Chain A
Amino acid sequence: MADAGITLSHRAERSFGGAARLKGLFWPLASAALALGVWALVVILAKPAPYILPAPWDVLARIWTDRSLLASHGLVTMAEILAGLLISIVIAIPLGIAIVAVPTAEKLLYPIVVAFNAIPKVALAPLFVVWFGYGFLPRVLITSSIAFFPILVSTISGLVGIEPDLLRLARVLRARKFQVFLRMRLPHALPSIFAGIKVGTSLAVIGGIIGEFVASDSGWGYLLVQASGTLDTTIMFAVVIILAVVASCLFSAVAWVERMMVSWHASQRS
């Protein structure tokens, strides 16, 4: 999942690069059309029962008729995803900096980080329900706990991964530690930090939905569970399609911010 996120990100960046903005949209649209075409073909040829595989036009029609229902649940899910992602960014990056900057913090905290990272975060979901009930909070916590670690780990590896020669240069120039951090380590780590945020973004979407599976009375995840109970496959497909679009947009937004902030990095040059 995470790997897929990284590969896709490069495609997304390329498509935004330079003046060929519209041209860049051609292939994503073409591949979407291909997927829809294959789906339609299967429905026409195999004629599956609608509760097994609904037709694409039925799903699209359902998205339109149930738009207010989908939107109201979607607002909840989007809020969870964004809040969870923001919380994990705001905590993970400073914590990563602290772990790199303070050797004691590294020795003390890094083993805990590694241990927590190894836990499948989904396993924590029922625990969060016990602690925080069925409200908005446990779902945000599940989301941020899943998105948190890739951001933390990539922050640390980005800060640590600076070339020894650059540090040697800093020493020859009698640089202050804080200035080395601000002007060398941090900019150098930014591409890695963004890679982590992108992985975290994909994971936050998963976290939001899983949180709603476990502890919810609203949201797209809740809608999916409800629809599963009534074999309403059409609405399930509608939710999945919307999720794919929303996740892609979120991902592109992060890629856009990245492009603004690290335009100098090799991955951003056309």
Chain B
Amino acid sequence: MSVALVVSDATSGHDRRDTLISLKDAGKTYDTRSGPVVAVEAVSLDLARGETLALLGPSGCGKSTLLMMIAGLLEPSCGHIVINGAPLSGPIPELGFVFQRDLLLDWRTVLDNVLLPFALIGQDPKRHEQRARLLLERVGLAGFENKRPYELSGGMRQRVAICRALIGDPDIFLLDEPFAALDAFTREQMQLDMQRLSLDKPRTTILVTHEISEAVFMADKVAVMTARPSRIHQIIDIDLPRPRNMKTRETEAFARYITKIHGLFASLGVIRG
């Protein structure tokens, strides 16, 4: 099993400053009747506090599996994951997770959906209402607090889901193809808006995506992943100044990253011409 490949230089490049998430040979293999199936090959990587990592690759490359393991939803079958110095053994409180589908509860208002995390652990949501309203305002949903989810558009619903993930002010923010179900315009807007949500507090973010430009635009590091075998092929540092805006997409540096990653996928046979 080829372990960690280029990954090690990602850690040696930076001095080991304040590592928040650390994967050590963590991988997932399922035992099936027809033999073991590798969902994702063992990987080692470190993510510093405040950094954004994009897991980029075609479907079946194990990017979601990797994210599930970091979320504590899935136990690695080898290696281990350390978060903030402590070995991971289940979902931690300092975690915000956004799924591809917004998973809003139709019977709760927008405000109550954002406050759901408190209700689910038996806390009084009333105390956090102020913050919920503030978050909704910041994503442009002021005035929608008492609407029901079915009265909202897909983009608005996903904004509510993002507010729900951020209500506990998490240190770690995990996004599983959060904009994949949205139209191209809404998606671009969301990519811009996401930065604003982390301005007050840099959050360590891991974004799963299959869109190259989304990965480059949002991340500090892009993990290029392949299917069959499912593994991280290379991690590329994205050295674009922040905050990034619409102009960022027009820069030469941005285009170079896109071309480079596109070329990587082509050479790996993910895209054939």
**A residues engaging B (CB < 8 A)?**
163, 165-166, 168-176, 179-180, 183-184, 187, 262, 264-266, 269
Contacts and interface: CB of A to CB of B under 8 A. Distances in A.
Contact of B101 (A165, A170, A184): A165
Contacts, number: 54
Contact of B95 (A172, A180, A184): A172
B150 interface: yes
A184 B117 CA distance: 12
Scoring B71, B93, B119 by chain A CB atoms within 10 A of each residue's CB, the highest score goes to B119
Given A172-B73, A183-B120, 13 more contacts: A169-B99, A171-B73, A172-B71, A172-B91, A172-B97, A173-B91, A173-B116, A173-B121, A174-B121, A184-B120, A262-B107, A264-B148, A266-B150
Scoring A163, A168, A172 by chain B CB atoms within 10 A of each residue's CB, the highest score goes to A172
A266 B107 CA distance: 11
B71 A166 contact: no
B233 to A, nearest CB: 27
Contacts of A179: 119-122
Interface string B97-120: 101010101110000000011011
Secondary structure dominating the interface of A: helix
A262 B122 CA distance: 23
Contacts of B120: 170, 173-176, 179-180, 183-184
A165 B107 contact: no
9 contacts: A165-B103, A168-B99, A172-B91, A172-B95, A174-B120, A175-B120, A176-B121, A179-B122, A184-B105
A165 B68 CA distance: 12
B93 to A, nearest CB: 7
B99 A165 contact: yes
Contact of B97 (A169, A183, A184): A169
A265 B120 CA distance: 21
A193 to B, nearest CB: 13
Nearest to B101: A165
B119 A183 contact: yes
Contacts of A187: 105, 107
A264 B119 CA distance: 19
Contact of B121 (A168, A175, A184, A265): A175
Contacts of A264: 106-107, 148, 150
A69 B97 CA distance: 66
Q: Which 4 A-B pairs have the closest CB atoms?
A: A175-B120, A172-B97, A264-B106, A264-B107
A220 to B, nearest CB: 39
A169 B121 CA distance: 13
Contacts of A172: 71-73, 91, 95, 97
B83 to A, nearest CB: 14
Contacts of A173: 91, 116-117, 120-121
